[in-house]
A = this chain, B = another copy of it.
Amino acid sequence: MAPSPVVRTYPLSSYSFDTKMEKHKSIINPITRLDSIYKTEGIRRIVEGILLVHEHNHPYILLLKVGTAFYKLPGGKLEAGESEINGLKRKLSSKLGPDPPSPQPDWQIGECVGVWWRTNFETSAVYPYCPPHRTKPRECRKQFVVQLPEREYFVVPKNLQLVSVPFYQLYDNAQKFGHVIASIPEQLSRFQFNTIDE
């Protein structure tokens, strides 16, 4: 039997934070945009990073908070032909790294722990399996564990807030965080957390 996968976690206080200008945002209606992209590019591939810290030996994940009540994992859409790992590194730098030409964090992308499917863009419904009788899913979202180093410098766009949320708040709380984020404690339950204090 394979041993449990291990993630090292450091306290939130190990990391430093700064802000940067927000990126230019598209002003086209999102659903229209998603539908038109699907027609030209096919399935939309999203990759997201699970960045872990700890407080009092309990695991927390870093989430981007948009406005007052919407949470998302750092990540985004892959370009055509782009690999998952390269795309996730690019997106993590765009969301959490300093502006170029400053050197970017050396993102250590670990294993994929979750895969979710979306079959249309009119609802936010996602499924942890390719729904039966749906031969053409519109979107596939994958979550990867990211091993953070002992120290890091995160730079967050001004329109977003980086927050750390404990597993005990995420668990069984799809209403607040959505199914993808709320199920991370279950998906990581097989991991061994090596909590390292300063």
Contacts and interface: CB of A to CB of B under 8 A. Distances in A.
Given A56-B132, A168-B129, A1 B190 contact: no
A interface majority secondary structure: mixed
Contacts of A183: 183, 186
A114 B168 contact: no
A59 B171 contact: no
A129 B179 contact: no
Nearest to A113: B190
Nearest to A109: B1
Contact of A187 (B58, B127, B174, B187): B187
Interface in A135-179: 166-168, 171-172, 174, 179
24 contacts: A1-B85, A1-B109, A1-B111, A56-B132, A58-B129, A58-B132, A59-B129, A111-B190, A114-B186, A127-B168, A127-B171, A128-B167, A128-B171, A128-B186, A128-B188, A129-B171, A129-B185, A129-B189, A172-B174, A183-B183, A186-B186, A186-B187, A187-B187, A187-B189
